[in-house]
Amino acid sequence: MADVSPVPAPILAAGFAFITDAVAAGTLDCLMSDPDCPDCPPVSVSFFIDPTLNVRGRDVRRVATMVQFGETRFGATPIIMPGPGIRGFHTDAGGMGERLMVVQRDGSATFSVTPSGRTLTGTCVDR
């Protein structure tokens, strides 16, 4: 039976991932578009959630997932939130700010960069 113990509030508040096997791990392939730029081409985003991350007590801040964002590849911290079925990643992009990808249970996705305010929306599927 899957471990579905509640997520401690301080972990959620800090933005750290809470890993459990209640949400599917694996590769997600996404097609993202800028809703403010209908003439801009969509961007392909792909990332992997390691299925071994469901080890209780593992410090996921030290775990990286590799993200392919168009032609760019970078490491990020994976996010899995079992209750709402959210998956994604977060990374500090240095001078660019922070990058956050959130994929809902239904596959709808949002990618945002702060402080620039750039937001892409799209759909992801499990590979």
Judge whether 2 lies within some domain: no
Tell me what percent of the chain is helix, strand and coil, each rounded to the nearest 5. 15, 45, 40
The pLDDT, as a whole number, for residue 65 is 87
Please state the separation of Cα 19 from the chain's center in Å: 12
pLDDT level of residue 57 (50, 70, 90 thresholds): low
- Using the predicted structure, report yes or no on whether residue 4 has a pLDDT greater than 70: no
Residue 77, domain member (yes or no): yes
What is the value of pTM for the model shown?
A: 0.73
Higher-confidence residue of 4 and 62: namely: 62
Is the per-residue pLDDT at 81 higher than 90?
A: no
The verdict on residue 118 lying in a domain is yes
Span 51-76, average pLDDT: 74
Q: What is the reported pLDDT for 108? A: 97
Per the structure, the count of domains in the chain is 1
Whether 47 shows a pLDDT value over 60: the answer reads yes
Domain extent for 90: 9-126
Per the rule left: phi > 0, alpha: psi between -120 and 50, beta: everything else, 11 is: alpha
**C-beta separation of 82 from 5 below 8 A:** no
The whole-number pLDDT of residue 17 equals: 39
| Residue 4 domain-assigned (yes or no) | no
